[in-house]
């Protein structure tokens, strides 16, 4: 009844992508103090840039002329290319990946632009929130950019061509490979954020977070630090968008709404403020909530045909918001507490004070 | 050539009235408890659904529906404050945590309505109210609902203007200025704040009720207006009533007359209407962030919250 | 090298009709410990705010190392070698004692790209750690190295502030009531740290309430009252000054 392998793969894939998003938000807000209420914007932009670029690339690189990627014929053509032409598919995949990261970085830079910050801190938060809404509207209704309400389809798994190469001929192989790749990127992002935060730069971030005026008094360039963290965070979110759109096959604005930004915040607060492991843990739990409600909905539909499946997804959103409220009121620091900045300096002190090797929390 | 103009103006005025009723509560909230309440829009939905349900049993009974909407929305507003906002405010949470909490409250309320409406088969419905033309001005029909909305909008504005001079109104202004000091002066801040929430939620609910005969009532009704409401309030400088009135007028006219103009002469599709509040917000923040209202600046109020959590 | 490291000329500042600082002109000699005393509300902190760029004067000028700094901002002053501590310490309460101490100095790891590769900033970090070990050790703060700054006592916070100053050894440090609230047994340690700074050619300009505590180490004293400079001189001279005694109205000054 339930496709166990499919479920596990989807769990793992969503978990990986959500973890990257949570790590990026945690970097921006948990460590850097920048409230990003529009993270879905960077995520979605990475997705749409990928979708548009790769669809066009697949057609151009196989010497076909450019045509409207929104048509069914284009979709069929692109899927055929993906299953038969490894070099073009992988090249398009790589190029769109690099482009999304660059676009994310540029957007991050714009989002932190000093002019926006000169007046009040909350302007940034407001503008990001509004920008994210506008992104959804523009890409949903503008058929030249986004193929309309249904989004851009036909972004096949970049390893679809493996199916014909393996003796088993099973469609699971590309999914397996791609999910592994997602996890690889998740691991890379984790290592990246851990290194960034356990370094002098991490100290700078926290100082700007805790008291930017005092940080400025100590000669730190607060604006530059904020810009840097936004660029890194946004690139990471766009990377997640690139990974996601290839996994799900469609770039649809429904996936990048403010409700989803809210989910990322829940993951971060649940897992633990300013704690990278916590971010991953938080992503894990919300992915579980997400995936199990989906399964539950499918099962209920099978056994109770008259059942309205939407009620399950409504309940999911209800639970998420209730969870966040309970967290904020009773345990705002989340599951895992903020850790110390682990640098050689810390280890020196730790050794001289005769502490155990793996102590990494504030006492 | 300009025969679209009159109809457009008529519609703009109506929407301005609606915006006024639904936004003024947010202005109050920002002024008194300095909370940008993103759940405010949900009070509108709750008001609309209350009217929907009431008119199922008492068709066309507008007075009863309005009173019920006011009370229920207002009540839910108080409950939300007591359960979610008060503990966080007491803990001197940062502005962003409060905003996040208000998102959570909004989502919680919205999906509760989704679930209940789903079960009750009211995901997209109309209240049983007869919309009857009452007046005709130059070929435009002004209905009973239309006139009532204008009346209520004007009454709300006038009421709130004179409200400042009442005891509770003065308490609210004291709290708005300096809550700690107000408490020490013996003002019953709890009561004043609760009254504020009833008014804020209630007015939004009434606005939702007056909107319901004209639109399809869905659980996302309020949520779809969120951006416009914030644009109105930001334009008005966040805590000024006059500013909100001006903002409502601008929003009402921009979304109707301006869009009509752009659509007819520049073929801009109506689906781009949401870009208007966005542009307004950006323009205000860039040109005059303290807004175009009259009273005590919001920036100072919110800054208080930001500063309070930074220095220890 | 000029003898005078800091000079204010006719600094004035009013707050809504009240003259917080009224035409104050003073000079501070390099490699000295200069003290500014005065009763509450005499304008000492306001003057410091103006010198350190936190506040803007209504009139007058400030010169640091013969360059005018009247309109410069705090981070620019820091880069020139002027540092200022606060009466209500502004530390980073979300970070640990050690992290606060390691923050002031620059590092190659401040750049996020380099931060990714530990080898680039490792040596910087270790030498800072050694210095931090020494500095925190002076103030007996080492056992608290991983405690959050929000969880240590008020006196310890003041010591941490001083430790951060010692990590940087600014050319001129303005200290706003550095020993208020500190355990008496630690004051001699602080004083020897101050004297060490002076021996290294650094200058300290200190606001304190009462002269008594700083009597032994102060080189020169300025006294403010109700916004104006009412006296200046060596500690001995100040103690005998009639005007000063009057200003303090019965509070013993020595």
* Residue A271's pLDDT band (cuts 50, 70, 90): very high
Q: Which residue of A has its CA nearest to B231?
A: A130
Interface partners of chain B (CB pairs < 8 Å, 3 or more) are A, C
Q: Are residues C162 and C187 in the same domain?
A: no
CA-only gyration radius of chain C, Å: 19
* Residue A117's pLDDT band (cuts 50, 70, 90): low
Lowest mean pLDDT among A72-86, A199-213, C237-251: C237-251
Interface probe for B, chosen from A216, A314, A322 (most Cβ of B below 10 Å), is A314
pLDDT(A362) > 90: no
The arrangement of secondary structure in B3-310, i.e. its CATH architecture, is: Orthogonal Bundle (1.10)
Please tell me which of A113-117, A185-189, B9-13, B295-299 the model is most confident about, judged by mean pLDDT: A185-189
Q: How far is CA A46 from CA A27, A84, A287, in A?
A: 18, 26, 21
Query: Which positions in chain A touch C78 (Cβ < 8 Å)?
Result: 217-219
d(CA B97, CA B75): 24
Q: Which residue of C has its CA nearest to A189?
A: C116
Minimum-distance CB partner of B107 among A211, A310, A321: A321
Interface partners of chain A (CB pairs < 8 Å, 3 or more) are B, C
pLDDT reported for residue B295? 56
Full 3-state SS string of chain B = CCHHHHHHHHHHHHHHHHHHHHHHHHHHHHHHHCCCCCCHHHHHHHHHHHHHHHHHHCCCCHHHHHHHHHHHHHHHHHHHHHHHHHHHHHCCCCHHHHHHHHHHHHHHHHHHHHHHHHHCCCCCECCCCCCCEEEEECCEEEEHHHHHHHHHHHHHHHHHHHHCCCHHHHHHHHHHHCHHHHHHCCCCHHHHHHHHHHHHHHHHHHHHHHHCCCCCECCCCCHHHHHHHHHHHHHCCCCCHHHHHHHHHHHHHHHHHHHHHHHHHHCCCHHHCCHHHHHHHHHHHHHCCCCCCCCCCHHHHHHHHHHHHHCC
Q: Say which residue, C196 or A113, is predicted with more confidence.
A: C196
pLDDT(C253) > 60: no
pLDDT(A288) > 90: yes
Average pLDDT in the B45-65 region? Answer: 90
State the nearest Cα–Cα gap between B84 and chain A, in angstroms.
7
d(CA C19, CA B306): 30
Q: What single-letter DSSP state applies at residue C54? A: S
Q: Are residues C113 and C47 in the same domain?
A: no
Please tell me which of A14-28, B121-135, B292-306 the model is most confident about, judged by mean pLDDT: A14-28
CB contact (8 A) between residue B100 and residue A314:
no
For chains A and B, CB pairs below 8 A equal 110
> What ipTM, to 2 d.p.?
0.89
Residues B153-206 have pLDDT tens digits of 888 888 887 777 887 888 888 888 888 888 888 888 888 899 999 999 999 999
Pick the last residue of a domain from C169, C198, C233.
Answer: C169
By C-alpha distance, which of B5, B17, B44 is closest to B145? Answer: B17
Query: Which positions in chain B touch A265 (Cβ < 8 Å)?
Result: 100, 103
pLDDT reported for residue B312? 36
d(CA C26, CA A72): 82
* Residue B311's pLDDT band (cuts 50, 70, 90): very low
d(CA B310, CA A30): 15
Tokens matching residue A169: 């001929």
Please tell me which of A57-66, A97-106, C29-38, C143-152 the model is most confident about, judged by mean pLDDT: A97-106
Residues A69-100 have pLDDT tens digits of 788 888 888 888 888 888 888 999 999 999 99
pLDDT reported for residue B128? 80
Average pLDDT in the C161-180 region? Answer: 91
pLDDT reported for residue B278? 87
Lowest mean pLDDT among A213-227, B101-115, C114-128, C177-191: C177-191
CB contact (8 A) between residue C92 and residue A352:
no
pLDDT reported for residue A97? 95
DSSP H or E run through C15: strand C4-15
By C-alpha distance, which of C204, C238, C208, C222 is closest to C82? Answer: C204
- Window 50-79 of C, Cβ < 8 Å to A: 52, 54, 73-75, 78-79
User: What does residue C169 show for φ and ψ, rounded to 5 degrees?
Assistant: 50, 65
Average pLDDT in the A138-150 region? Answer: 81
- C67 located within any domain: yes
pLDDT(C247) > 90: no
- C87 located within any domain: no
User: What does residue C215 show for φ and ψ, rounded to 5 degrees?
Assistant: -50, -45
Pairing state between β C59-64 and C4-15: antiparallel
Is this prediction's pTM over 0.95?
A: no
pLDDT(C96) > 60: yes
Sequence ranges of the domains in chain B? 3-310
Average pLDDT in the C30-36 region? Answer: 92
End-to-end CA distance of chain C: 34
Q: Are residues C54 and C98 in the same domain?
A: no
- Window 252-311 of B, Cβ < 8 Å to C: 311
- C86 located within any domain: no
Q: How far is CA A338 from CA A147, A197, A210, A269, A281, in A?
A: 43, 11, 13, 11, 13
Pairing state between β C220-225 and C33-37: parallel
Pick the last residue of a domain from C115, C145, C169.
Answer: C169
Average pLDDT in the B18-23 region? Answer: 93
Q: Say which residue, A359 or B125, is predicted with more confidence.
A: B125
Residues B250-267 have pLDDT tens digits of 999 998 888 888 888 888
The residue with tokens 């994310």 is: A104
Q: Are residues C31 and C142 in the same domain?
A: no
CB contact (8 A) between residue C150 and residue B312:
yes
pLDDT(A148) > 50: yes
Average pLDDT in the A190-198 region? Answer: 95
- C104 located within any domain: yes
* Residue B294's pLDDT band (cuts 50, 70, 90): low
CB contact (8 A) between residue C94 and residue A202:
no
pLDDT(B296) > 60: no
Mark residue C10 as left, alpha or beta (left: phi above 0; alpha: psi -120 to 50; beta: remaining).
Answer: left
Minimum-distance CB partner of A348 among C78, C115, C126: C126
Minimum-distance CB partner of C109 among A201, A214, A222: A201
pLDDT reported for residue B287? 79
Interface probe for B, chosen from A124, A130, A148, A263 (most Cβ of B below 10 Å), is A130
Please tell me which of A8-22, A286-300, B56-70 the model is most confident about, judged by mean pLDDT: A8-22
Contact C9, C63 (CB under 8 A): yes
Give the CATH number of the domain where residue C215 resides.
3.40.50.300
CB contact (8 A) between residue A329 and residue B275:
no
pLDDT reported for residue C187? 85
Which residue range(s) make up the domain with C3? 1-81+170-254
Interface probe for A, chosen from B35, B83, B100, B307 (most Cβ of A below 10 Å), is B100
Instruction: Determine contact: A137 vs chain B, CB below 8 A.
Output: yes
Please count the structural domains in chain C: 2
pLDDT reported for residue B209? 92
d(CA A230, CA A32): 9
pLDDT reported for residue A39? 95
Residues C70-85 have pLDDT tens digits of 988 888 899 899 998 8
* Residue C250's pLDDT band (cuts 50, 70, 90): very low
Bridge partners of residue A250, in order along the sequence:
A153
Mark residue B188 as left, alpha or beta (left: phi above 0; alpha: psi -120 to 50; beta: remaining).
Answer: beta
pLDDT reported for residue B300? 56
Residues A298-334 have pLDDT tens digits of 887 777 776 677 888 899 999 999 999 999 999 888 8
Average pLDDT in the C187-193 region? Answer: 88
Q: Say which residue, B108 or C87, is predicted with more confidence.
A: B108
Instruction: Determine contact: C102 vs chain A, CB below 8 A.
Output: yes
Query: Which positions in chain B touch A141 (Cβ < 8 Å)?
Result: 269, 271-272
pLDDT reported for residue A286? 95
* Percent of chain B topping pLDDT 90: 39
Query: Which positions in chain A touch B112 (Cβ < 8 Å)?
Result: 318
pLDDT reported for residue C136? 92
């Amino acid at each position: 009844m339930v496709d166990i392998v499919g479920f596990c793969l989807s769990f793992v894939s969503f978990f990986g992508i959500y973890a990257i998003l949570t790590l990026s938000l945690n970097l921006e807000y948990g460590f850097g103090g920048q409230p990003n209420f529009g993270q879905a914007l960077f995520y979605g932009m990475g997705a749409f840039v990928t979708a548009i670029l790769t669809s066009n690339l697949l057609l151009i690189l196989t010497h076909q002329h450019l045509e409207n990627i929104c048509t069914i014929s284009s979709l069929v053509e692109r899927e055929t290319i993906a299953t038969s032409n490894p070099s073009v598919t992988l090249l398009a995949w790589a190029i769109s990946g690099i482009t999304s990261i660059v676009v994310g970085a540029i957007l991050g830079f714009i989002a932190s632009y000093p002019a926006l910050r000169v007046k009040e801190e909350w302007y940034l938060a407001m503008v990001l929130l509004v920008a994210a809404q506008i992104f959804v509207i523009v890409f949903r209704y503008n058929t030249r950019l986004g193929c309309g309400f249904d989004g851009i389809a036909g972004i096949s798994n970049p390893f679809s061509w493996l199916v014909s190469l393996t003796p088993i001929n099973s469609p699971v192989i590309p999914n397996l490979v791609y999910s592994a790749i997602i996890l690889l990127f998740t691991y890379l992002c984790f290592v990246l954020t851990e290194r960034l935060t356990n370094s002098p730069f991490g100290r700078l971030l926290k100082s700007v977070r805790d008291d930017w005026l005092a940080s400025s008094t100590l000669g730190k360039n607060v604006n530059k630090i904020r810009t840097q963290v936004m660029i890194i965070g946004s690139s990471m979110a766009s990377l997640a968008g690139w990974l996601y759109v290839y996994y799900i096959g469609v770039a649809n604005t429904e996936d990048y709404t403010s409700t989803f930004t809210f989910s990322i915040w829940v993951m971060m607060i649940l897992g633990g403020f300013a704690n990278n492991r916590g971010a991953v843990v938080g992503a894990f739990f919300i992915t579980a909530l997400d995936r199990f409600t989906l399964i539950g909905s499918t099962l209920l539909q099978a056994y109770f045909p008259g059942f309205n499946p939407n009620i399950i997804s409504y309940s999911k959103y209800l639970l998420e918001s209730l969870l966040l409220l309970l967290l904020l009121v009773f345990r705002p620091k989340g599951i895992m507490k903020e850790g110390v900045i682990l640098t050689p300096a810390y280890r020196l002190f730790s050794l001289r004070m005769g502490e155990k090797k793996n102590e990494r929390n504030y006492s | 050539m300009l025969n679209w103009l009159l109809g457009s103006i008529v519609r703009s005025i109506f929407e301005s009235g609606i915006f006024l009723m639904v936004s003024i509560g947010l202005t109050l909230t920002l002024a008194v408890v300095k909370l940008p309440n993103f759940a405010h829009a949900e009070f509108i939905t709750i008001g609309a659904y209350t009217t929907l349900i009431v008119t199922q049993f008492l068709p066309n009974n507008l007075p009863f529906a309005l009173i019920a909407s006011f009370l229920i929305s207002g009540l839910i507003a108080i409950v939300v404050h007591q359960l979610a906002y008060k503990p966080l405010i007491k803990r001197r949470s940062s502005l962003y945590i409060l905003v996040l909490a208000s998102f959570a409250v909004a989502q919680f309320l919205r999906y509760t309505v989704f679930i209940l409406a789903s079960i009750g088969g009211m995901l997209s419905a109309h209240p049983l109210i007869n919309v009857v033309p009452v007046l005709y001005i130059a070929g435009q029909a002004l209905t009973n609902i239309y006139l009532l909305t204008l009346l209520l909008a004007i009454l709300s504005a006038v009421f709130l203007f004179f409200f400042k001079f009442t005891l509770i109104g003065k308490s609210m202004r004291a709290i708005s200025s300096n809550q700690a000091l107000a408490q020490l002066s013996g003002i019953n801040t709890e009561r004043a704040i609760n009254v504020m929430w009833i008014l804020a939620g209630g007015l939004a609910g009434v606005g939702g009720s007056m909107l319901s005969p004209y639109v399809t009532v869905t659980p996302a009704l309020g949520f779809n207006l969120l951006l416009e409401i914030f644009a109105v309030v930001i334009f008005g400088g966040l805590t000024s009533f006059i500013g909100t009135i001006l903002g409502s007028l601008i929003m009402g006219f921009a979304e109707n007359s301006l869009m009509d103009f752009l659509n007819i002469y520049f073929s801009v599709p109506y689906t781009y209407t949401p870009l208007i509040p966005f542009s307004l917000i950006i323009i205000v923040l860039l040109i005059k962030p303290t807004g175009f209202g009259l009273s005590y600046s919001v920036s100072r109020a919110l800054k208080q919250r930001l500063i309070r959590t930074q220095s220890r | 090298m000029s003898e005078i490291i800091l000079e204010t000329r006719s600094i004035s500042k009013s707050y809504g009709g009240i003259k917080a600082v009224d035409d104050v002109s003073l000079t501070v000699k390099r490699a000295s410990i200069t003290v500014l005393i005065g009763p509450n509300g005499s304008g000492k902190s306001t003057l410091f705010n103006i010198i350190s760029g936190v506040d803007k004067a209504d009139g007058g000028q400030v010169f640091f190392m013969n360059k005018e700094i009247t309109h410069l901002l705090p981070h620019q002053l820091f880069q020139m070698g002027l540092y200022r501590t606060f009466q209500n310490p502004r530390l980073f309460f979300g970070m640990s004692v050690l992290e606060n101490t390691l923050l002031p100095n620059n590092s190659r790891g401040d750049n996020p790209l380099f931060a990714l590769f530990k080898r680039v900033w490792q040596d910087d970090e270790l030498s800072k750690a050694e210095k931090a070990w020494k500095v925190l050790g002076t103030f007996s703060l080492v056992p608290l190295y991983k405690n959050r700054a929000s969880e240590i006592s008020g006196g310890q916070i003041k010591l941490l502030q001083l430790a951060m100053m010692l990590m940087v050894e600014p050319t001129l440090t303005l200290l706003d009531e550095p020993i208020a609230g500190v355990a008496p047994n630690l004051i001699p340690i602080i004083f020897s740290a101050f004297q060490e700074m002076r021996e290294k050619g650094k200058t300290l300009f200190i606001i304190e309430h009462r002269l008594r505590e700083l009597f032994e180490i102060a080189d020169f004293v300025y006294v403010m009252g109700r916004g104006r400079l009412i006296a200046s001189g060596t500690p001995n001279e100040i103690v005998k000054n009639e005007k000063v005694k009057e200003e303090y109205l019965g509070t013993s000054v020595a």
